Amino acid sequence: MSDLLVALRAALVEMDINGVIDLVRKALSLSFDPMKIVESLRSGMDEVGRRFESGEYFISELVMSGEIMKRALEILKPYLRTEGGSKGKIILGTIIGDLHDIGKEIIKTLLISAGFEVYDLGVDVPPEKFVEKAREVGARIIGISALLSTSIVNSAEVVKKLREEGIRDKVKVIVGGAAARSWMIEEYGVDAIVNDAVKGLEIIRGWAEENEPAREGS
């Protein structure tokens, strides 16, 4: 990682909003890969999350860093956009029991920039809402965001509702967030688990390219 991107990560961790904005603009002016800039910011958010978990940072710092991240993504959006038609439809939302939307906003920006049609249901979304919207618009991918370990278990209910509606084999389910763990694939019956937005985008792109029916979860 270049010195500029290291400085960008540090500026986000230290809640230096002006520093973050200036460094993002400078990186763009120097023709840095926008995805590398996003990765640097995501790394900074990971560090903020670590400090929050250790008690060094509090809710106020978590909220502030999220707002700074949103500002940075707004600047990056025009540089992330791709040409061509829609790559597919995806339903996105933070699962019921969780009001955090930073991770969701990051992946939404990346998905829209990659050419996907994103239907953002917001936060605290009941499982049935994901399924209803997927059926309504014909989406074949559902993305669930969850920061809290107490809420991520509700993603299993989304899979259950898909089965009840008879469309589980037509819809992939990916869960992302700080609480995401690989064992949840088997436990909750979802298709993928990530805690990295860039990796999540790669997985979703792969599914869109394959255009194959989703597997039946365990």
Residue 31 has what pLDDT? Answer: 93
Per-residue pLDDT tens for 175-196?
Answer: 998 788 999 999 999 999 998 8
Residue 1 has what pLDDT? Answer: 61
- Catalytic, out of 43, 65, 113, 151: 151
pLDDT at 96 over 90: yes
- Catalytic, out of 40, 43, 98, 196: 98
Q: Has 100 been annotated as catalytic?
A: yes
Residue 83 has what pLDDT? Answer: 52
Give the pLDDT mean for 158-168.
95
pTM recorded for the entire structure: 0.73
Domain extents in the chain: 3-80, 88-210
Of the pLDDT bands very low, low, confident and very high (cuts 50, 70, 90), residue 92 is very high
Q: Tokens in use for 183?
A: 């064992």
pLDDT at 82 over 80: no
Residue type at 9 in one-letter notation: R
- Catalytic, out of 40, 65, 100, 120: 100
User: Counting beta carbons within 10 angstroms of the beta carbon of residue 107, is it exposed (0 to 12), middle (13 to 18) or buried (19 or more)?
Assistant: buried
* Least reliable range by pLDDT among 7-16, 25-34, 52-61, 78-87: 78-87
CB 134 within 8 A of CB 91: yes
Same fold, 3-80 and 88-210: no
Q: Tokens in use for 28?
A: 């763009």
Better-predicted residue by pLDDT, 126 or 66: 126
Give the pLDDT mean for 10-22.
96
Per-residue pLDDT tens for 26-59?
Answer: 999 999 998 889 889 888 887 887 887 788 988 7
Residue 106 has what pLDDT? Answer: 82
State the distance between the two ends of the chain, measured CA to CA, in whole angstroms. Answer: 39
What CATH class has 88-210?
alpha beta
Q: Has 46 been annotated as catalytic?
A: no
CATH of domain 3-80: 1.10.1240.10
DSSP for the chain reads: --HHHHHHHHHHHTT-HHHHHHHHHHHHHTT--HHHHHHHHHHHHHHHHHHHHHTSS-HHHHHHHHHHHHHHHHHHHHHH---SS--EEEEEEEBTT----HHHHHHHHHHHHTTEEEEE--SSB-HHHHHHHHHHHT-SEEEEE---HHHHTTHHHHHHHHHHTT-GGG-EEEEESTT--TTHHHHH--SEEES-HHHHHHHHHHHHHH--PPPPP-
pLDDT at 217 over 50: no
Give the pLDDT mean for 199-209.
91
Residue 85 has what pLDDT? Answer: 60
